[in-house]
């Protein structure tokens, strides 16, 4: 590492350092690419021997030992086998480390970092894999597109949408049906499914049989089971109805809105820019806007 690199690194540390009461640091980043870059930057900036643990929002973790901007060991991975530093060829090891870094970067955000003292003393011959080798290997790995999931979506400026009279003032048990009906004006595709048994009531647009975004019975049944599990986990904090919104990073492309009323759910695939119409429909069918 050149002297100028060290000076630049120290300058970054001085500029970005803030007092904190929690040992974990949140690597704030909106995209998987930026998260991966921050993980690599953390490895590059680790001079003394440390055990770094990168933990995603769902609990997945990548734990590694880093010293002098080199990864010298890995203790825990999100998926797959832990690499063997003693028997794996160096080039393969760098590729595997790049895969692990990319994998944890693609895990659900936010990503938290915990820096600890190593469990054991560093061996003299434990040279590890350099930051540069890992970064170069990361350049050959394409990251998956970012997906934002939220129960309370960001509310943009209201957009005009015609909501059928049948959708207004819906009661419990009919809210999902009302959401399905009201989404006709802006949805590219719609589906209405019962949670109990995942029986499909209605399919329209690109969600219909033979269409490009058709969801088969097995997939919908699995989604219904996930909703039941979610209800069990969040029963003390949330009740029904619930609106789940999934949209691409940057707000461009197609998005998915799901209204779950406890007995059935309705999903609508729509252009991400029409999130305001989704929110307006949600307010109407739940009676939250008078």
Span 26-70, pLDDT tens digits? 887 778 999 999 999 999 999 889 999 999 988 899 999 999 999
CATH code of the domain covering residue 272: 3.30.450
Q: Average of pLDDT values for 254-282? A: 86
Q: How many Å apart are CA 186 and CA 104, to the nearest integer? A: 35
In the chain, count H helices and then E strands. 7, 12
Tokens linked to 231: 């209800």
The most confident of the ranges 135-139, 145-149, 193-197, 198-202 is 135-139
State residue 173's pLDDT score: 52
Tell me the pLDDT tens digit for each residue of 237-255. Answer: 677 788 888 877 655 678 8
On whether both 139 and 155 belong to a single domain, the answer is no
- Distance CA(220)–CA(74), nearest Å, equals 38
Q: Does 230 share its domain with 260?
A: yes
pLDDT in the model for residue 172: 44
Asked if 163 and 80 sit in the same domain, the reply is no
Task: Report the alpha-carbon distance of residue 115 to residue 97 in Å, rounded.
Answer: 18
Same domain for 203 and 97 = no
Both 10 and 87 in one domain: the answer is yes
Mean per-residue pLDDT for 163-180?
Answer: 61
Asked which of 84, 118, 144 is the last residue of a domain, the reply is: 144
Q: What is the 3-state secondary structure (H, E, C) of 232-268?
A: HHHCCCCCCCEEEEEEECCCCCEEEEEEECCCEEEEE
Q: Are residues 265 and 138 in the same domain?
A: no
Same domain, 10 and 139: yes
Percent above pLDDT 90 for the chain: 28
Residues in the chain: 290
3 state SS of 73: strand
SS3 annotation, 120-144:
CCCCCCCCCEEHHHHHHHHCCCCCC
Query: How big is the CA angle at 134 (ends 129 and 138), to the nearest 5 degrees?
Result: 165
pLDDT tens, position by position, 128-141:
899 999 999 999 99
Which contacts of 88-92 are long-range, i.e. CB under 8 A and separated by 24 or more positions?
Answer: 90/129, 90/133
Check: CB of residue 189 under 8 Å from CB of residue 272.
no
Check residue 150 and give its pLDDT: 45
Inter-residue contact 104 to 62 (CB < 8 Å) = yes
> Which of these three, 98, 117, 144, is where a domain ends?
144
The boundaries of the domain holding residue 261 are 149-286
Question: Structure pTM?
Answer: 0.47
Tell which of 144, 175, 201 closes a domain.
Answer: 144
The pLDDT score that the predictor gives to residue 168 is 42
Number of domain units in the chain: 2
Q: Does residue 175 share a domain with residue 133?
A: no
């Amino acid at each position: 590492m050149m002297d100028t690199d060290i000076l630049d690194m120290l300058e970054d540390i001085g500029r970005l350092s803030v007092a904190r009461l929690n040992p974990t640091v949140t690597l704030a980043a909106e995209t998987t690419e930026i998260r991966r870059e921050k993980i690599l930057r953390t490895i590059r900036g680790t001079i003394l021997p440390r055990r770094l643990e990168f933990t995603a929002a769902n609990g997945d973790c990548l734990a590694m030992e880093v010293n002098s901007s080199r990864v010298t060991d890995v203790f825990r991975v999100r998926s797959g086998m832990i690499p063997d530093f003693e028997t794996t060829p160096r080039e393969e090891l760098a590729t595997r480390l790049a895969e692990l870094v990319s994998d944890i970067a693609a895990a659900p955000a936010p990503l938290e970092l915990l820096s600890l003292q190593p469990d054991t003393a560093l061996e003299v011959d434990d040279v590890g894999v350099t930051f540069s080798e890992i970064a170069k290997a990361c350049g050959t790995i394409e990251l998956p597109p970012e997906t934002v999931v939220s129960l309370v979506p960001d509310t943009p400026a209201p957009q005009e949408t015609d909501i059928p009279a049948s959708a207004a003032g819906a009661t419990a048990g009919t809210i999902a049906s009302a959401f399905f009906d009201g989404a006709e004006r802006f949805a590219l595709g719609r589906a209405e499914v019962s949670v109990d048994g995942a029986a499909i009531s209605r399919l329209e647009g690109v969600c219909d049989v033979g269409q490009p975004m058709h969801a088969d019975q097995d997939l919908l049944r699995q989604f219904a089971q996930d909703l039941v599990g979610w209800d069990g986990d969040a029963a003390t904090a949330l009740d029904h109805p619930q609106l789940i919104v999934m949209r691409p990073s940057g707000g461009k492309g197609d998005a998915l809105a799901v209204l779950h009323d406890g007995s059935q759910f309705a999903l609508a695939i729509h252009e991400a820019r029409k999130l305001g119409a989704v929110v307006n429909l949600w307010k109407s069918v739940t009676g939250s806007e008078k």
